[in-house]
Structure 1
């Protein structure tokens, strides 16, 4: 695992680049917005990340998760040449690029051959038609799409709603890809269930660690660090099999700065993220303490998917007071990068009360000690053992 990207900077392009809410008319010329994202690569690299995880970039009807063509870049973002140029620019800075593959469902205007659709919809959303994953032609299509963009230099794929797809389907796809792209990193979006079995049976490298995400903010808000200790034990078991994708924020959830009841506990949340095993991801804007609440309604994701300025130098004006959070991210990410062994290291709790938790992270030879103390300030500390 140490050969793969270790820390991702996660961007939702349609929102980040201020794209239109709906697809452009067929007659409209593509808008080269992805080129503007190149200006942000140094920001991600300076933060200490070594990968750019992109949300949907393919032609879609609205938010990107209603894909209509997996082989065409959304004209609101540009062209294939623009995406390939972005991948090249990222590579020149040592950044891999992860693409978001929406292969459970498609938009209603997706030109599906007969037999490609199951007749169902994704979680009751009428505009999201589910693919028939028992159809060999759908296997061919998904494997072909993934290979096409891997050939153009991307580092891997995030598989959207992977949990809603039969795991046997993923195995058929990954078995085709592995001989040609042995270094591709494949991570599935899985909310709950048997994470380890899903990776093994599906041939994936990783899945999203939602259990740990929830335990981090919930234990801090409830002043119940027993919940976090329990989650860390569960996390250890996963690390026996794979390194989960860890996070405290992404494009689908309320931002961590808004989720925490006590702003001063943000450092404690980040200390956990960047010390425990796994592959950490930072959602763009969280490194400046950006706020945003997800709401369960039409347009309820808008607040967590805002437009960013064209130039990173303008970010401080968008996030006043975010300098300390930015500095903290850089310091903890630097600490992590100096210790790549943490990716598969195990955690041992050494002291525990409702409001205080100490743990040791070790690979058997090297170790880091972390203390969380919700009663005092600072509320956390991280040090080499």
Structure 2
């Protein structure tokens, strides 16, 4: 039996296909919070999209910041109230209920590294100075000097940004407040997990404490950290977090297409997931093509014809795949002068604009369906079969089950593709994406012939 303070990874995570939504942008909320307006239930604007997401194969939703903040959501003012620009508790409860009714899990953004200057305890420090009982809640807070806002004290901010006030997570009172907020989210809304913002900037022992606290909750949460750089094994281990973001794979997915260099992607995959030697072979990482902080996949790729291939990779490689709202139809978006708002536009009414390239949504739904239908794509080992500049083949293997994925990213037909598969089950193999296409495995070799331009195949024993 596991120790009582160990929070097992929820089983549903291995079967999850995520939709990531940034509510303040998707719901068209005002850029700033006046902290006076009556709550406006803009979260209801997401409700008409739930069936469309379900049709894509989505069964889990990660909601960006939904609690009271000053501007973009990552400058929290109050962890216990829904941002009035999005609505009130009832609005968030309606959304979570609608998702749960469709069998979707709900993960919320937990911004615990820092707060905004409007955070109630920081306001108390601004008003009372050294007499504030909360002066120890904030990292590096020191009186006797002035910050750029004119306060008679200085403090640490996230990456030096003074609008984002770093919490001192070593303080028991701070931890109790944050953990109480998590308990409130579970009890009031029935959430299923936390995405821990800026996890690579937080002391690891904080996550150990959070894990132990969550192990005692009535609902078992999934804990996933935002980690951009570092060895993910530092965060993902028993008694700490269950998963992190996989930025290494994100980068390789798009740049290997732009550079016509699948060797980069193959190197990343071998380093991370190769059977018996991959660093993260035992981990279940959160994978994505884009998100609220990086340029949209459709804007990153030099050629839109590569978008379906990128998503085929996302749904057939190891990890927990996540779509970012709007990217399923090829939404464009680039940061402009450090401004993230172009990445976070309002959602239109369903079904949204036409796909670019045409058929992208249907392709993504097909890839998600394959992942749901074949356990080997969700839990199988990764094995490299072939690497060329613009062709890549790999196997996912689970017990006696094998699925082979083959990619041709070139705008020209490939040379003959003949895959060495010693021990593979001989006979006919079928392309699950195009079932009329059949291929033979004889003498330990799977002969695919010439691959058409910009094509992917997902092969299984017929």
TM-score bracket for the superposition, by shorter chain length: over 0.9
| 1:21 corresponding residue in structure 2 | 31
Give runs of aligned pairs for residues 1-385 of structure 1, distance below 5 A.
2-4=11-13, 6-26=16-36, 28-112=37-121, 113-118=134-139, 119-151=155-187, 152-181=189-218, 183-200=220-237, 203-236=240-273, 237-297=278-338, 300-309=339-348, 311-313=349-351, 315-316=352-353, 319=354, 321=356, 323-375=358-410, 376=412, 377-385=453-461
More helix by share: 1
Deviation at 1:111, TM superposition (A): 1.7
Say which is worse superposed, 233-242 or 104-113, in terms of deviation: 233-242
Any conservation in 2 of the 1:168–1:202 contact (CA below 8 Å)? no
Q: Normalized against structure 2, the TM-score is what?
A: 0.79
Distance 2:355 2:263 in 1: 34
CA offsets, 1:293-341, max 9 Å, x none?
Answer: 12342xx2111111112x313x12xx45455111111110111111244
Any conservation in 2 of the 1:186–1:205 contact (CA below 8 Å)? yes
Of structures 1 and 2, the one with the larger relative CO (CA 8 A, separation 6+) is: 1
RMSD: 1.6
Distance 2:336 2:373 in 1: 38
Any conservation in 2 of the 1:278–1:342 contact (CA below 8 Å)? no
Deviation at 1:186, TM superposition (A): 1.0
Distance 1:196 1:134 in 2: 22
Deviation at 1:252, TM superposition (A): 0.8
Flag structure 1 segments of 5+ consecutive residues without an equivalent: none
Any conservation in 1 of the 2:258–2:302 contact (CA below 8 Å)? yes
Any conservation in 1 of the 2:107–2:192 contact (CA below 8 Å)? yes
Say which is worse superposed, 173-182 or 211-220, in terms of deviation: 173-182
Larger radius of gyration: 2
Deviation at 1:357, TM superposition (A): 1.2
Any conservation in 2 of the 1:105–1:131 contact (CA below 8 Å)? yes
Distance 1:271 1:146 in 2: 35
Distance 2:53 2:255 in 1: 28
Cα distance, 1:88–1:216 mapped onto 2, change above 3 Å: same
Distance 1:378 1:354 in 2: 13
Distance 1:150 1:25 in 2: 25
Any conservation in 2 of the 1:157–1:187 contact (CA below 8 Å)? yes
Distance 1:321 1:60 in 2: 34
CA offsets, 1:104-159, max 9 Å, x none?
Answer: 00001112222111021101211000000111112112211112112221111111
Flag structure 2 segments of 5+ consecutive residues without an equivalent: 1-9, 122-133, 140-154, 413-452
Distance 1:276 1:7 in 2: 13
Distance 1:351 1:341 in 2: 19
CA offsets, 1:6-28, max 9 Å, x none?
Answer: 111111000001000000342x1
Say which is worse superposed, 347-356 or 204-213, in terms of deviation: 347-356
Distance 1:380 1:107 in 2: 46
Any conservation in 2 of the 1:271–1:382 contact (CA below 8 Å)? no
- Paired residue total: 378
Distance 2:366 2:272 in 1: 24
Distance 1:6 1:252 in 2: 22
